[in-house]
Chain A
Amino acid sequence: MHDHLLSVRNLKIEATSYPPGEPPKDITIVEGISFDLEKGKVLGLIGESGAGKSTIGLSALAYGRGGVRITGGEVLLEGKDILPLGKRGIRTIRGARVCYVAQSAAAAFNPAHKLGDQVIEATLAHGLMSEAEARKRALYLFEVLGLPNPDTFGDRFPHQVSGGQLQRAMTAMALCSNPQLIVFDEPTTALDVTTQIDVLAAIKHAIEETDTAALYITHDLAVVAQISDHIMVLRHGHMVEYGTAQQIIEAPREEYTRALVNVRQKKREEAADQTDTLLKVDNVSAGYSNGFKVLFDVSLHLPKGQTLAIVGESGSGKSTLARVITGLLPPSEGSITFDGKQLTPALKQRSRDDLRRIQLIYQMADTAMNPRQTVGQIIGRPLSFYFGLHGAKKRARVAELLEEIEMGSGFIDRYPAELSGGQKQRVAIARALAAEPELILCDEPTSALDPLVAEGILNLLLRLQAETQVSYLFITHDIAIVRAIADSVAVMHRGKLVRFGPKSKVLAPPFDDYTDLLLKSVPEMEIGWLEKALASRKMESAGN
């Protein structure tokens, strides 16, 4: 068995939960997980949140996060079980032979120290190299990871570099001690697609270059397909399917894996008639009171009963545009026309009926609902506020709305904390629907959700549109969602509108540079996509 670098046998992980008003009880988070990992290979762990993938990843460092205990099985590193090593013994392994790359590099770096010092810290602490050697290795890794100005990069502080660069610096930190195994915990999830592809390519290149083995944890099958040799699909702490990346993507055996593979394949035909305009945004510019401008001269329109998708990466001004339309941030120039009538710029001057007709759904349903109100109160408030419904009538209408969002009236007295992420977002949709709006602004309502749950939400939104003829202005960074739901598309970049029109035109060549980059950066469920995308990029830059 010594030919395997890492062997996990029958892993069982438990935690203690403390339900209010009940005695604490032990719950099993992960059970019966076994796998082998060879030197220089990458195993992708994939599953929705709560599947136990991070917990399994951390078990390779014999670490249990926040009250989690490894209660059974073995974790063999080069044939030796690391679980019974104890605190002192495991310390010689962590940071030296096995390293960890966290999801949020911004939170994982100490803002008070230079990047270079932090990258070599663990290596020096373990006495693996002299400082000069470690710095040399860091420099080499910065080069391999494609960081700009590698020789001075280490002198910068974490806030002075971008999120993608920080994530690569963290990978350099993990690779610095020349470990045998690295655990990547969703390293690209928090990044924009155009950045993600760079980081992904850098990680893949660095792994190949240094011949390190890796566990790659993610919820995005298309991402893991690019980087892994094998993939393990997890659900509720159990293994669903294990196989080579090729087999999982091209010939999944299990129902659940098939659903994951097919989740982003949905496409919708755009509406033919795009004339009956509901919302019209004319030459809108906006900025914050300190003079920082976020939107520059944006003009677009949205027909009745249709969906306009606004695409762009973080900082492109797409959420700001939604704030301008709602009146939360009055525009500095330009005007907004709604149903043939010009909207007053500021929220406070708008009539109650104007407010009712435009509703907003937030990205994070957790913070968008008052945690001290029940589902019934949350959905019921717009009913009494806009329509004066009370008592039994209101309750009946709330129950009706809960049926609409496929949840059922049993949830009426629950608090948001008792709901899952998807259910919370459904309640948020019901709250918007309760106002019987003509336009719903959706600010990335599915980006915090697992793919299958997100698909459920999208289907719900589409069904509601077909039933009530409501229009959506759908803000997203995900091209797959645009394909699935949009009639027209607006691409935004750095506060400017890059491209706007019917979906068939916007998503078809000839492209402008930015849209081209954006489209090519979206991972596809296909082995070897990453290499193809990078190659086509290189060709273009050579051509230019």
Chain B
Amino acid sequence: MRLRDVSITAWIGILGILLAFFCAIFAPWIAPFGEREIVGGVWEPMGGAYLLGTDNLGRDILSRMIFGARTTLSVAMAATIISFSLGIILSFTAAVSRGWIDQIFSRFNDLMMSIPTLIFALVVLAALPQSLIVLILVMAVLDSTRVYRLGRAVALDVAVMEFVEAAKLRGEGRIWIIFREILPNTLTPLLAEFGLRFAFSILFLSTLSFLGLGIQPPAADWGGMVKDNKDGIIFGISAALVPGGAIAALAICVNLVVDWLLKRTSSLKGGRGDA
């Protein structure tokens, strides 16, 4: 892969993501103020000492955005990765094994999917102790049901191909068939789904924070910041739009990169392209 093969849209996406990660990693050094520090009046306008203004408690929004990137990104990323690992392993096992394993997994998945995600999450999070790990796991498990659905569908398509039969005839085990024969041929749709799911995770985390069950104050996170400042909108104060815009921008950046990856992998020599 050469750098000049990367398309402009992909560069925009990559830069956006890098910026977010840069903020997340170096937050204490680049943020002008502390995460929880009250530095000025309530809802001060943009410009001046506070580049993006201050929030409903008089904290610097830019600083909280930078610190918020940390929690938002890490929680969303961890949840997406776990949900994909879980969903792919279970769905591929079901697709390769068929029979009763497939039935048990799939019906249980249907059961999980039949409960509205948000309500399920609210109930579980309300009952369980409030910790970051629990939050991530709940998000991951709920999201993995969607991944399972897609994973099983694409894996079934590939599992009936003759090269998989040839691997079975060779005597290959299930692990080899899943990871070496099927997974590489399903990467294209799965990558697309990953980008989408990551964006959804950010949104879902924001929703939970907005409802008060996600990241707990005073820790900053983008969704929570929207919630904190939403009342300002009535008074014409744009403080809530900054984290909201950041969520949208990051979701778009992730999808720009995924779109490019998709194009690249499907035009790979011998890829089961979607072109």
Contact = CB atoms under 8 A, between A and B. Distances in A.
A541 interface: no
A371 B270 contact: yes
Interface in A326-372: 326-328, 347, 350, 352, 355-356, 359-360, 362, 364, 367-372
What 8 pairs between A and B have smallest CB-CB spacing?
A417-B270, A371-B270, A415-B270, A372-B184, A415-B269, A355-B171, A368-B162, A367-B162
A385 B180 CA distance: 13
A20 B171 contact: no
A356 B172 CA distance: 11
Which one of A371, A431, A435 has the greatest number of beta carbons of chain B within 10 Å? Answer: A371
Interface in B236-269: 267-269
Nearest to A377: B180
Given A415-B269, A416-B270, A418-B270, A371 B185 contact: yes
A362 B166 contact: yes
A328 B162 contact: no
A372 B185 contact: yes
A385 B163 contact: no
Given A355-B169, A355-B170, A370-B184, A362 B271 contact: no
Interface in A359-399: 359-360, 362, 364, 367-373, 381-382, 385
A391 B172 CA distance: 20
Nearest to A428: B166
B184 A385 contact: no
B102 interface: no
Interface size class of A (residues with CB under 8 A): 20 to 34
Given A347-B168, A369-B163, 6 more contacts: A328-B169, A359-B169, A370-B185, A371-B272, A417-B269, A418-B270
Contact of A326 (B169, B184, B268): B169
A415 B184 CA distance: 13
Nearest to A368: B162
B193 interface: no
Interface in B176-230: 180-181, 184-185
Contacts of B271: 371-372, 417
8 contacts: A20-B268, A359-B169, A360-B166, A364-B162, A367-B161, A370-B181, A373-B184, A418-B270
A350 B271 CA distance: 33
Interface string B149-171: 00000000000011101101111
A385 B169 contact: no
Interface residues of B, number: 21
A23 to B, nearest CB: 13
Contacts of A372: 184-185, 268, 270-271
Nearest to A414: B269
Interface in A406-437: 415-418, 431, 435
A352 B171 CA distance: 6
A418 B269 contact: yes
A361 to B, nearest CB: 10
A420 to B, nearest CB: 13
B274 interface: no
A87 B147 CA distance: 47
A370 B270 CA distance: 9
Nearest to B183: A372
Given A20-B267, A370-B184, A385 B162 contact: no
B167 to A, nearest CB: 8
A360 B270 CA distance: 22
A461 to B, nearest CB: 18
A360 B185 contact: no
A451 B234 CA distance: 78
Contacts of B170: 355, 381-382, 385, 435
A344 to B, nearest CB: 13
A458 to B, nearest CB: 21
